[in-house]
Amino acid sequence: MRAIQYTCCGDRDVLHIANPDTPRISDDEVLIKVRAASLNPFDWKLRSGMLGDYFQMEFPITPGRDGCGEIVELGKNVDRTQLARGQLVSFICSRFQRGSLAEYVAVSAQDSVVPVAENLTLQESAAIPVVGLSAWNALVETAEIEAGMRVLIHGGSGGVGSLAIQIAQHFGADIFATCSSANVERVEALGARAIPYDCVDFTSEVTDCDIVLDTVGGKVHEDSYKVLKRGGRLVYLLARPFNNLSAEYGVEDLQVNVLGHTANLRNVMDLAATVALKPIVGHVLQPDDFEQAFELGESGKAGGKIVLTIDGWSNISKTNKESMTQ
Ligand SMILES: NC(=O)c1ccc[n+]([C@@H]2O[C@H](COP(=O)([O-])OP(=O)(O)OC[C@H]3O[C@@H](n4cnc5c(N)ncnc54)[C@H](OP(=O)(O)O)[C@@H]3O)[C@@H](O)[C@H]2O)c1
Q: Are 69 and 14 in contact (CB under 8 A)?
A: no
Q: What is the DSSP string of 158-224?
A: SHHHHHHHHHHHHTT-EEEEEE-GGGHHHHHHHT-EEEETTTS-GGGT---EEEEEESS-HHHHHHH
pLDDT at 316: 60
pLDDT at 239: 62
Name residue 17's beta-bridge partners: 4
Ligand 1 neighbour 180 (Cβ under 6 A)? yes
Q: Give distance in angstroms: CA of 209 to centre of ligand 1.
A: 20
Residue nearest to atom 31 of ligand 1 (CA): 197
Q: How far is it, in rounded angstroms, from Cα 233 to Cα 115?
A: 33
Question: Which of 166, 185, 214, 215 maximizes ligand 1 atoms within 8 Å of its Cβ, making it the mutation to test the pocket?
Answer: 215
Closest CA to 154 of 114, 117, 110, 196: 196
Q: How far is it, in rounded angstroms, from Cα 59 to Cα 69?
A: 24
Give the length of the chain.
326
Closest ligand 1 atom to residue 300 Cα is 20
pLDDT at 260: 78
Largest CA distance in the chain: 75
Give the 3-state secondary structure of residue 326. Answer: coil
Our CA angle for 36, 42, 44, nearest 5°, is: 85
- Per-residue DSSP letter, 112: H
pLDDT at 319: 53
Q: How far is it, in rounded angstroms, from Cα 59 to Cα 300?
A: 26
Phi then psi for 139, rounded to 5 degrees?
-85, -40
For each of the domains in the chain, give its residue range(s) and CATH number, in order of start.
3-120+278-325 (3.90.180.10), 131-259 (3.40.50.720)
Cβ–Cβ contacts within 10 Å for residue 214, how many? 27
Q: How far is it, in rounded angstroms, from Cα 116 to Cα 91?
A: 9
Q: How far apart are the first and last CA of the chain?
A: 25
Q: How far is it, in rounded angstroms, from Cα 197 to Cα 214?
A: 13
How many CA within 13 A on the CB side of residue 297? 26
pLDDT at 264: 95
pLDDT at 78: 97
Mean pLDDT per 10-residue interval, the chain, length 326 residues = 97 98 97 98 96 90 98 97 97 93 97 94 97 97 98 97 98 98 97 98 98 95 97 89 92 92 92 90 97 96 94 70 46
Ligand 1 neighbour 132 (Cβ under 6 A)? no
Ligand 1 neighbour 235 (Cβ under 6 A)? no
- Helix 122-136 to helix 159-170 angle (10° resolution) is 70
Residue nearest to atom 44 of ligand 1 (CA): 41
169-189: pLDDT as tens digits = 999 999 999 999 999 999 999
Question: Which of 93, 179, 301 maximizes ligand 1 atoms within 8 Å of its Cβ, making it the mutation to test the pocket?
Answer: 179
Q: How far is it, in rounded angstroms, from Cα 244 to Cα 261?
A: 25
Q: How far is it, in rounded angstroms, from Cα 187 to Cα 166?
A: 10
Q: What percent of the chain has pLDDT over 70?
A: 96
Closest ligand 1 atom to residue 41 Cα is 47
